[in-house]
Amino acid sequence: MKIGQVPDVCQGHAQCYIIDPELFPLNEDGFSGVGAEQEVPPGEEDTAELGVDACPFAALRVLR
C-alpha cells in the first residue's frame, strides 16, 4: 500500500501528523511532507487510512 499527496492542496492543518508523525511528516513550512508516493510500512495500513481520512481538504490519497 502507498499513500500520496495531491500537489498544492495541503493547507497545513496537520491532522494527518496528529494521527502518526512518522508516517505523515511535515516539511519545514508545516505542510505535509508525504510527497507524490510513499510506501506504507507493513502493519501500518489502518493508521495510513486514518491519516488520509483525517485531512479536511482531501490532500492525501491511498494508492493501491
Q: pTM for the full model?
A: 0.93
Domain ranges (residues) in the chain = 2-63
CA distances from 27 to 15, 20, 22, 43, 46 (A): 14, 14, 12, 24, 23
Tell me: pLDDT of 51 over 90.
yes
Q: 2-63: which CATH topology?
A: Alpha-Beta Plaits (3.30.70)
pLDDT exceeds cutoff 90 at 64: no
Which pLDDT value is given to residue 33? 96
